[in-house]
Amino acid sequence: MKEFEDLKGLLRNNDSFDMGILAGAFENLSQMNKNYKLSFIVFSSIQSPIKLFHNWHNADYSFNLDDFNGFHIVNLSRTIKKAREIKGSFGVSRFGKTNIWMAFTSESSDFFENGVVRFIESYRPDISRIYLSSEELRELFERVEDNLSCEIYVKKAVLYSHVKEGIMSFENKQFQELFNEAETESRYVDKVEYDIQEDNVSTYHGFVSRNLISYYYSGRINRFLDYILPTIAKIVERKINIFKDKERNYENAEATPLCINFSQDVIGCKYDNIRLIKALEKVSGGAVAVYHKNPYLHMSFLDFIDGSNFDIFITDSNKITIIPNYKCSMYSLMRVTDQIFKGFDEGDVKLAERYTYSFADFMAE
């Protein structure tokens, strides 16, 4: 990564090295190269991912680390199926004192997707991906518009249907039109390439997806570092507080249920129950067991990746309840709820009201 190489020669190992120092390099390179792209992935990790990297790693990866007073550069190599090797470097930075981290690079898309992202994901569930809903993406743009007193326009977007195959592209409109149209058409927003305009002048060109992959193409990088990223962090921190520490423990077996509440009735017949089952069957590395399908739905989900398991109930026309068991990671809850939002419908996740389940609730008829 050229930005690192240019600056490393000017710094000693104990010198400070942060995103502020790099910002000028990002902007200069974007001005010199119209194809420049800086790629970011935002994720959650309770302990430092650098410590995780030191503890163990997949045999397909090799790396070394440069530490500049807490700012880390990872020089990574990955061998893919013994057929090819990809190499490059990426930075790792923590957002404040939170458990939110980001990894970023201006290397090729191949290195970012098959190197950086896959390397980060190899540490699941200790490292957890975060997923935003369409409404949370809308909230992101609304907050940035308010804080910057700007206007945000969609250059391109990808929307998927909840109920049928296919995608719909969306171009060159104000961002509220995008989300209003998605809501009207029963679709969810997956990816958005956007333009920030201040006083009718473009000041930032970027991209964001619901799985918190972001790209910086051009413009004032501080619009991302000082406005977009802090807003993402606030939304992510709220989600983390809902999903973390939900598994039962043996000292206190009481469950901490979660509810997905929908703004309207989305469950009205047996077909809707089946639609939810089919959505969850698409979660990779997991299995669904259905105990009761009609008129109410009761099933369990087992995550083969980390052993998480939980029960899922539909007992109301506008609510899904998730009951965590003794092994239930934030990582697993995040990806399952995201699949519900994509394959069934989007809702609002909250802590559920306490409910006492009887033995009969867990038995199929």
Q: Put residue 243 in one of left, alpha, beta given phi > 0 → left and psi -120 to 50 → alpha.
A: alpha
Question: What's the pLDDT score for residue 270?
Answer: 87
Q: What is the spatial distance between Cα 103 and Cα 94, in angstroms, rounded to a whole number?
A: 9
Sign of CA dihedral 283, 284, 286, 290: positive
Other Cβ atoms closer than 10 A to 336: 21
| 71-89 tens-digit pLDDT | 889 999 999 887 899 999 9
Question: What's the pLDDT score for residue 22?
Answer: 84
Q: Indicate the helix (H) or strand (E) that contains 68.
A: strand 61-68
Rounded to two decimals, the pTM is 0.89
Exposure letters 260-298 (e unless 16+ CB within 10 A, then b): bebeeebbeeeebbebbbebbeebeebebebebbeeebb
Q: Indicate the helix (H) or strand (E) that contains 310.
A: strand 309-316
Helix H segments across 34-132? 49-55, 109-111, 118-121
Q: What is the CATH number of domain 258-362?
A: 3.30.160
Return the domain boundaries, the chain. 2-129, 258-362
Question: What's the pLDDT score for residue 12?
Answer: 56
As a three-state string, the secondary structure of 125-181 is: CCEEECCCCHHHHHHHHHHHHHHHCCEEEEEEEEEEECCCCCEEEECCEEHHHHHHH
Residues of the chain with pLDDT under 70: 6-18, 165-166, 250-253, 354-365
Task: Give the chain's end-to-end CA distance (angstroms, integer).
Answer: 60
Question: What's the pLDDT score for residue 5?
Answer: 72
Q: What is the CATH number of domain 2-129?
A: 3.30.310
| HSE-up (13 A, CA, CB side) for residue 295 | 4
